[in-house]
Amino acid sequence: MARGFEESSARWNIVAQQLLLAELEHETIQPNWFWNDAWDGYPGRLPLARKRLLTDVVAAKLRNPVFLTGDWHSTFVNDLKLDFSDPRARTVATEFVTPAITTGGDGTPYGPYYAPMIPFNPHIKYYDGDPRGYFKATVTHNQMRVDLRFVTSVENAGGTGYTQGSWIVEDGRPGAQRI
């Protein structure tokens, strides 16, 4: 990917991938435990790969890097950093993690599982583990806007969709901002 980053002349560099890229610090809740369905779930391997990937983003001076992540059954909006242990570390990219559309139906909330960890992860700007849905993205020269679209029910044909909130990433300014 480093070569692709270096060669990119795009205004927006959007990378789609399937596992939570941002660090999710578990230590305060579950010491010596690793969630192996994320980049930081394999100590010594994927955290180093994540660091290398984000270092490549910085080295290439990649314009507007945004990572779109799926397959996590929860919604996250994350600032990506080279050093997640330092809340003041510079944000180098943005990650939007989409919820499941129907997995678990209306009755399998993931919220209670991750919720206690969120205060220990200041780079997580938004989290909700319960609703099902999708994102709607609009990209212009000046910004990328992502609307978090959830549904009231996936098991009932009368379920309706709604926008939970909207976030923007401004051209030249990594990090998500709620609007």
Tens-digit pLDDT profile for residues 76-124: 999 999 999 899 999 999 999 998 888 877 866 666 677 888 888 999 9
User: 138 versus 44: which is more confidently predicted?
Assistant: 138
Q: What is the pLDDT of residue 49?
A: 87
User: 30 versus 55: which is more confidently predicted?
Assistant: 55
CA distance 37 to 39: 7
Q: Check pLDDT > 70 for residue 35.
A: no
Backbone angles phi, psi at 133, to 5 degrees: 165, -150
* Domain encompassing residue 171: 2-178
Do 100 and 132 contact (CB within 8 A), yes or no?
yes
Q: In what order do the strands lie in the sheet with 132-139?
A: 132-139, 143-151, 161-170, 173-178
Of the candidates 149, 170, 139, the one whose C-alpha atom is nearest the C-alpha of residue 14 is 139
User: 114 versus 163: which is more confidently predicted?
Assistant: 163
- What does pTM read for this prediction? 0.92
Q: Which residues pair with 38 in a beta bridge?
A: 20
Q: Where are the alpha helices (DSSP H) in the chain?
A: 2-7, 46-59, 111-114
Q: What is the pLDDT of residue 102?
A: 83
Strands 65-69, 91-97: pairing kind: parallel
CB hemisphere CA count around 156 (13 angstroms): 9
Count of C-beta atoms within a 10 Å radius of residue 49? 11
Report the CATH number that the domain containing residue 34 is assigned in CATH: 3.60.21.70
- In the chain, how many domains are there? 1
Residue 42's pLDDT band, with cuts at 50, 70 and 90, is low
